[in-house]
Amino acid sequence: MSNCSHCIMKRFNALKTLTHDELERFSDHKTSLIIKKGENIMTEGNSINGLYCIQDGKCKLTKLNTNGKEQIIKFVKGGDILGHRSILSEEPVGLNATALEDMRVCFIPKGDILESIKDNPQFSLNLIKNISLQLSHANTAISQMAQKPVKDRLAETLLSLEEIFGVDNEDCIDVILTREEIANTIGTATESAIRLLSNLKKDGVIDLLGKKIKILNKNTLKNISEGY
């Protein structure tokens, strides 16, 4: 099995301040998992007894509303960690993490994490910063959901998806989402999302190649996202 102290992921995520010894301890206790597309890594309301470190693959973090609709709160990819909020706050998981494609994930037991939190204040601070940043993003999202029309939110979301996932060798945003998932991200009906995507294509701002989306004019998209 691979060794945490050699894992390139440790350079990218909140684990980067861990010492060699700490990483060795993680290695000894970690388990590697394959999560198939559509499966859940974590499920809303469940307890969790460790932290997930995403090696490879993409997933969506969602919340089921009282009206039965799914809201996508955040996208997560290789290098990100999951479950630390729940461990630190000692509360059940707040969101579903569902794989958008097959994923490789490491699970590190809670005990080892808490040990490092106690020993390594810098690690602890990194986790706090991570959660604080998420809170800051969430507040921005509340404001945008509440105040901006659907078209603006779609533009914003497309830019943000390219920011998060980058582009493939054909300059398309490097993630495959259904139209329904896009709608559940911006908070609108699937048909509305489809219609607005078609309009953006007609206006030459984006191109649609099946499920792949290519941004043709980033500036225009940015203007739309700000209401112009």
Partner DNA sequence: AAAAATAAATGATAAATGTCATAACTAGGA
Partner DNA sequence: TCCTAGTTATGACATTTATCATTTATTTTT
Q: Would you tell me which residues interact with a second copy (CB under 8 A)?
A: 63, 65-67, 69, 71, 73, 85, 88-91, 94-95, 118, 121, 124-125, 127-129, 131-136, 138-148, 186-188, 226-227
Report d(CA 162, CA 215) in Å as an integer: 8
Tell me if 19 contacts DNA by CB under 7 A: no
Mode of pairing for the β-strands spanning 212-215 and 206-209: antiparallel
Residue 108 phi, psi (nearest 5): -115, 120
Site size toward DNA (CB under 7 A) is: 19
Report d(CA 187, CA 63) in Å as an integer: 12
135 binds, among a second copy, DNA, none (CB under 5 to 8 A by kind): a second copy
Q: How many CB atoms lie within 10 A of CB 94?
A: 14
Q: Which stretch binds DNA (CB under 7 A): 80-88, 116-124, 163-171, 208-216?
A: 208-216
Q: Return the number of the residue (113 or 213) whose C-beta is nearest DNA.
A: 213
Report d(CA 94, CA 71) in Å as an integer: 12
179 binds, among DNA, a second copy, none (CB under 5 to 8 A by kind): DNA
* Coil/strand/helix, residue 113: helix
Among 71, 208, 217, 220, contact with DNA (rule: CB under 7 A): 208
